[in-house]
Amino acid sequence: MNVFVIGANGQVGQNIVQLLHTMEEHSLKAMVRKQEQADELASRGIEAVVVSLEDSVEAISEAMKGSDAVIFAAGSGGNTGSDKTLLVDLDGAVKTIEAAEELGIKRYVMVSALQAHNRENWHEALLPYYAAKHYADKLLEASQLDYTIVRPGGLLNEPGSGKVSIAENLGSGSISRKDVAEVVVSTLKKENTIRRSFNLLSGEKDIRKALDSF
């Protein structure tokens, strides 16, 4: 697959890009917001385009052309206000869904947040973020895309264990960003994950087995 990674400079995005870059079965185009980020990726032999999620659907669509699948791993970040959360995590995500639909790209994997689908379980301090993720996911579910929504728990900068827990509902917990990237990339060719969503935490099952049995 030709995979278009949105949020390629984020911490999860970087892990996804690194993993895809090592795989012969996929090619990669990374979407970043700054030219210096694109230049750094290019120095490693990775194709990159400079586009913002606050740009137009047309600009995003132009960058996305030629892709077979989209991975959305972007976020406004913890240091921005609710305005950026709305513009990036919600409207930005929806723009990419619209762009994929316009181009006829079917496969779309969304990195969401643990329990984003259950309002009663949202973190009080992050309500605007959870609302943005909730409604972006809802609009993806209402689209014609072959989506998978991955909702990871607390993200850790630790080596991946390769062992996870996957289910529609899981309690609180955490997972390494490397394992999230492994799961996200693995879902691309897992037909049983199409038009499905799941929570994701560290666990006891190998990633492949966890996805196969979901």
Could you read off the pLDDT of 80-134 as tens digits, one per residue?
788 899 999 999 999 999 999 999 999 999 999 999 999 998 888 889 999 999 9
In this prediction the pTM is 0.96
- Tens-digit pLDDT profile for residues 153-173: 999 999 999 999 999 999 999
28-35 contacts: CB < 8 A, separation 24 or more?
A: 28/2, 28/3, 29/2, 29/3, 29/4, 29/5, 29/63, 29/66, 29/67, 30/5, 31/4, 31/5, 31/6, 31/7, 31/60, 31/63, 31/64, 32/8, 33/9, 34/9
Active site residue: 108, 129, 130, 147, which one? 129
Mark whether 108 is an active-site residue.
Answer: no
**12-21, 71-80, 83-92: range with lowest mean pLDDT:** 71-80
For residue 77, pLDDT beyond 90: no
